Amino acid sequence: MSSDILTQLQTCYDQLLIQFFSTVSYNVRRHPLIAPAPVASDPYTNPTKDVLIENGRHQYVRYKLNAEDAEGMDLRPQEPEVFDKAQEDLAEDLVMKAQQIEYLIKRLPGLGQGEEEQNAEIRRLVEEVKIMERRRKEKRKEMRKCLEQLDHVVLGMSKSIDVPESDGSTDESQRSTAP
């Protein structure tokens, strides 16, 4: 059972890594183009008067891309509301996967036991295996005795029944009746 849990755990970790990669890729490719925070020494980062801070962040700025720019660019920005909703969904998915991993970890055998308890469990299991091995050997001996008895019965029956010996050849009458 624990190997099954370990397999599920490995699968969940693989899925979590894929979700992390997908989330980062989504954020890189789909983030809205928002004006950067102004840097006093850089005139290119100072937003124009119509780009004001709204709800603690810069307003969404629509940049017009030329057809040539769009071909070489993997960036496909989304509206801020759509992007924010997608980020919430991605974060919820990551949290759910982390909870699933936590649940599987809690189901692993031996968790919550101290070293002494685990050693005692191992000793108990070793004794159980020894008992089962003794039983197996006893049953094996019993099986051999039964086989010997069966051999004696079969040999006794074969001696009590008069079976004519044949020389391996068949005569014509036996061939014609044979199917």
Sorted by where each begins, the domain ranges of the chain are 2-112, 113-160
Distance CA 88, CA 92 (A): 6
Q: Quick check: 12 and 97 in contact, CB under 8 A?
A: yes
pLDDT confidence of residue 56: 46
81-126 pLDDT, tens per residue?
Answer: 899 999 999 999 999 999 999 999 988 877 777 888 888 989 999 9
Dihedrals φ, ψ of 125, to 5°? -65, -35
| pTM as predicted | 0.49
**High-pLDDT (> 90) share of the chain, %:** 37
**High-pLDDT (> 70) share of the chain, %:** 66
7-33 pLDDT, tens per residue?
Answer: 999 999 999 999 999 999 998 888 877
Distance CA 90, CA 155 (A): 78
Distance CA 159, CA 152 (A): 11
List C-alpha distances in Å: 22 to 29, 30, 63, 80, 130. 10, 11, 25, 19, 52
Distance CA 160, CA 150 (A): 15
List C-alpha distances in Å: 105 to 13, 96, 117. 11, 14, 19
3-class SS shares of the chain: helix, strand, coil, % to 5:
65, 5, 30
